[in-house]
Amino acid sequence: MKTRITELFGIKYPIICGGMLWLSSPALCAAISNAGGLGNITAANYDSGEELRAAIQEARKLTDKPIGVNITLLPSFRITEETYDDYFRVCCEEKVTAIEVSGKPATKYMDMVHAAGVKIMHKVGAVRHARNIEKFGYDAVIAAGIEEGGHPLSDDVTTMVLTPRIAETVSIPVITTGGIADGRGLAAALTLGAEGVLMATRFIATKECEIHESFHQELINRQEQETTLINKSINLQGRALKNDIVAEILEVEKNGGGLSELAPLISGQRMKEAYKTGDVNHAAFMVGQSIGMIKDVVTCQELLDRMVNEAQEILAKNLARFSK
C-alpha cells in the first residue's frame, strides 16, 4: 500500500501511532514500526531532552525502521519552554524520521527541523488551521475529528467532514485521526482524501502496550457512547472514558470551578498511577469514540496486517461494485 505518506516517512503501511502520555514507549514504538507503521515516542513521558534521547536510542535497539516522536505544545504543569526546546533539539540531533506536533504551531523550530532532514506534521481540527500549517512549511497535516481521544480541538467537526475539507484545501499530504480503529476506517480515510491514518486508542489494546490488564478490559467492554468531553471550561478540551473521576471533573466544571480545583483531578501523575495499579476510576482515561470498535487485544503486527488486508478488500469490492 503506497501513498505520499508511506513515501514521506519510508514506511510500509500508512498507519501512524499518535501521542499517548505514559503509554507511547520505546517498546511500543518499535513494535509498531517493525509491523510496518510509524511508531511513536511521546516526549512528555520524559522530564528532559536527555531522557528523551535515551528513549529514542532504546527504540533503535529494537528496530531499524523509521520512528517518530510526539511533542504536544499545550500548557503543562511540569514541562517548561526550555524543555520543549530540548525535545526538538534532541529529535534533530538524533534525526528521528518525523515529529508529530499538537497544540500551538512549532514555527520557532521549523528551520532546525528541516535542516536536520526530519519530517514534521501537525494535528489540527479546522480548515483555517490546516492552511496555516501548510504556510508554515510543515510536511503533512493531521485532520483530527472530534471523535478522537486526548485533546480534540473545540470546533467539534467530525472526521467525515473535516478530512475531505482539509484534503481539498491544502496540497501537502493529509493524515486522518479520530474514530479510526480498523480497516474500515483506513479505507474510509483514503476514500475521503487522506493518505494515511493516525491512531492512539486502538494501539492501547495491543499486547506490546504496557498498561494494566483492567484497562484492556475497559477498551473491550465499553462502547462509543461512553466517552465525554472534559476540561472545556479551561480551554483544554479532552475526550475521556466516563468514570468516577470524570464525573467529578464535570461536576467541578458545572459549578464554575477553575484550574486550581481541576488540577489535582486531571494531573498526569494520576493517570500514571492508574495505568500501573489498574484502578480504572482513579484518573481520566483519555480515549476516543473508536473504543466501540475494539473487540480484542492483539500484537501490533496482527493489528496492522489485519487493517491493511481489510481495507484492501473493501476498496477492491467497492471498485468492482461500481464498475458493473
Q: Report angle CA 128, 134, 140 to the nearest 5 degrees.
A: 110
Q: In 3D, which of 186, 217, 191 has the Cα closest to residue 204? A: 217
Q: Name the residue with cell 521549523.
A: 110
Whether the predicted pLDDT of 180 surpasses 80: yes
Neighbours of 324 (CB within 10 A): 4
How much is the CA Rg of the chain, to the nearest whole Å?
19
Average per-residue pLDDT for the chain:
96
pLDDT per position as a tens digit, 103-141: 999 999 999 999 999 999 999 999 999 999 999 999 999
Q: pLDDT value at position 74? A: 86
Write out the DSSP string of 134-156: HHHT-SEEEEE-TT-SB---TT-
pLDDT per position as a tens digit, 231-278: 999 988 999 999 999 999 999 999 999 999 999 999 999 999 999 999
Q: pLDDT value at position 149? A: 92
42 sits in which H/E element: strand 39-42
Q: pLDDT value at position 225? A: 97
Q: Please state whether the predicted TM-score (pTM) of the whole model is above 0.95.
A: yes
Q: In 3D, which of 213, 141, 222, 145 has the Cα closest to residue 174? A: 141
Domains delineated in the chain: 9-210+294-323 (3.20.20.70), 213-289 (no CATH)
Q: Over range 173-188, report the average pLDDT.
A: 98
d(CA 31, CA 113): 25
pLDDT per position as a tens digit, 199-236: 999 999 999 999 999 999 999 999 999 999 999 999 88
250 Cβ contact list (under 8 Å, min separation 6):
228, 230
The answer for 233, left when phi > 0, alpha when psi is -120 to 50, beta otherwise, is: alpha
Q: Where are the alpha helices (DSSP H) in 48-200?
A: 49-62, 81-94, 110-115, 127-136, 159-167, 183-191
Q: Name the residue with cell 514541562.
A: 79
What order of strands is seen across the sheet that includes strand 197-199?
A: 15-17, 197-199, 174-177, 140-144, 119-124, 98-103, 67-73, 39-42
When pLDDT is cut at 50, 70 and 90, the band that residue 283 belongs to is very high
Please, are residues 123 and 16 in contact by the beta-carbon 8 Å criterion?
no
CA contacts within 13 A on the Cβ side of 212: 15
Bridge partners of 143, per DSSP, are: 124, 176
